């Protein structure tokens, strides 16, 4: 499953992991770098954030306590 790992940088340039956002949008054409960063900025009060696109599996989602939608479950099984 497609997801984004978010990080922030403090004033000294130190990087800190924020969290993982699983991609749940059905229309992947709507996904832009700016739309992903806007979500991150809503969650944390920091302007200097960035993300890395990652692939995660069902076991990782469960270990992080993230709920799986039925559609996400179906995509992971393929």
How many domains would you assign to the chain? 1
Segment 4-59, tens digit of pLDDT: 999 988 889 899 888 888 888 888 788 889 988 888 888 777 778 999 999 988 77
pTM: 0.69
- Residue-number span of the structural domain to which 12 is assigned: 2-77
- Per DSSP, the three-state class of 17 is strand
**Could you tell me the two tokens for 34?**
């700016």
Helices (H), 1-78: 33-43, 58-63, 70-77
Q: With a cut of 60, say whether residue 68 has pLDDT above it.
A: no
**Could you tell me the two tokens for 26?**
């059905």
- Per DSSP, the three-state class of 6 is strand
CB of 6 closer than 8 Å to CB of 49: yes
**Could you tell me the two tokens for 19?**
């969290």
């Amino acid at each position: 499953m497609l997801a984004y790992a978010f990080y922030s940088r403090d004033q000294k340039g130190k990087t800190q992991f924020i969290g993982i956002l699983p991609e749940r949008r059905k229309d992947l054409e709507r996904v832009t770098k700016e739309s992903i960063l806007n979500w991150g900025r809503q969650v944390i009060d920091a302007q200097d954030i960035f993300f890395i696109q990652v692939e995660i599996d069902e076991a990782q989602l469960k270990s992080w306590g993230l709920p799986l939608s039925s559609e996400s479950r179906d995509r992971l099984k393929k």
